[in-house]
Amino acid sequence: MSIRKVAVMGNPVLRQVAKPIPPKEILTPKVQELLQDMVDTMFEYDGRGLAAPQIHESLQALVMIWDFEPEKKPTLLFLINPEIKVLGDEKSSFWEGCLSVPGLRGKVSRPNKIQVTALNQKAEKIEFVAEGFAATVIQHECDHLQGKLYVDKIENMKDFTFNREYSKFIAQESLNGEIDDQAGEE
Ligand code: ZN
């Protein structure tokens, strides 16, 4: 296990379409080590999710923290070669952050409900429906596998801010109920 260097915006690896991992390679030490390095790096940088291209590996794998219960060891979700199908027309907006775009945060609107099909870290096929914030995290991470960043999807550049200013001006308003969004770092 090791903590890897995170690629930041401007690095071409973040703009490449990542290659699928052949299912029979998932259980090999090489891929298992990559997945563990992704976990170690995500925790080191306090992320909620991490995609392989963010540690300079242009492969279709991502990890995210699946539940956020305080004082419990987080449950991790691994998605390899994921596919997303949008369910319904409803959208949700969240203030997103990204370890590859450090110090900044932006408001992005995405489909609220999705169906996800992928392989997990044991090479088993998984299929489930995600909604709300979890659906946003998955879509943010899956975008990394397509060479996209959340900043590409900010509709109004007024909704792009430094973290400090977000905490000072926007999160405060949120607490007062004026803005309905939650913050998240992916
Ligand atoms: Zn990201």
Tell me, yes or no, whether 134 lies in a domain. Answer: yes
What number of H helices and E strands is found in the chain?
A: 4, 9
Tell me, yes or no, whether 3 lies in a domain. Answer: no
Read off φ and ψ for residue 2, nearest 5 degrees: -155, 155
Cα of 100 from ligand 1 centre, angstroms = 6
Tell me, yes or no, whether 38 lies in a domain. Answer: yes
Total number of domains constituting the chain: 1
Tell me, yes or no, whether 181 lies in a domain. Answer: no
Interacting residues of 60 by C-beta distance below 8 A, sequence separation 6+: 18, 19, 20, 21, 52, 80, 81, 82, 145
Question: Nearest CA to 42 among 97, 81, 83?
Answer: 97
Residue 130: Cβ-neighbour burial (10 angstroms; 0-12, 13-18, 19+): buried
The span from the CA of 11 to the CA of 41, in Å, is: 18
Q: Which pLDDT score, from 0 to 100, does residue 171 have?
A: 85
Structure tokens, 176: 């007062």
Tell me, yes or no, whether 168 lies in a domain. Answer: no
Question: Nearest CA to 109 among 75, 136, 138, 76?
Answer: 136
User: What 3-state class would DSSP assign to 172?
Assistant: helix
Tell me, yes or no, whether 161 lies in a domain. Answer: no
Q: Catalytic residue among 57, 96, 141, 186, which?
A: 141
Tell me, yes or no, whether 99 lies in a domain. Answer: no
Provide the residue range defining the domain that includes 130. 12-91+109-147
Tell me, yes or no, whether 117 lies in a domain. Answer: yes
**CA–CA distances in Å: residue 16 to residues 20, 59, 75, 139, 145:** 12, 10, 29, 17, 8
Kindly compute the dihedral angle of the four CA atoms of residues 147, 149, 81, 30, in this order, to the nearest 10 degrees.
80
- State the CATH number of the domain containing residue 56: 3.90.45.10
The span from the CA of 177 to the CA of 186, in Å, is: 24
Q: What is the pLDDT along the chain (186 residues), one digit of tens a residue?
A: 799 999 999 999 999 999 999 999 999 999 999 999 999 999 999 999 999 999 999 999 999 998 767 777 889 999 999 999 999 999 999 999 999 999 999 999 999 999 999 999 999 999 999 999 999 999 999 999 999 999 999 999 999 999 999 999 988 766 554 444 444 555
Cα of 48 from ligand 1 centre, angstroms = 9
Cα of 97 from ligand 1 centre, angstroms = 7
Cα of 174 from ligand 1 centre, angstroms = 23
The span from the CA of 57 to the CA of 37, in Å, is: 11
Q: Is 186 a catalytic residue?
A: no
Q: Which pLDDT score, from 0 to 100, does residue 186 have?
A: 56
The span from the CA of 34 to the CA of 4, in Å, is: 10
Q: Which pLDDT score, from 0 to 100, does residue 68 have?
A: 65
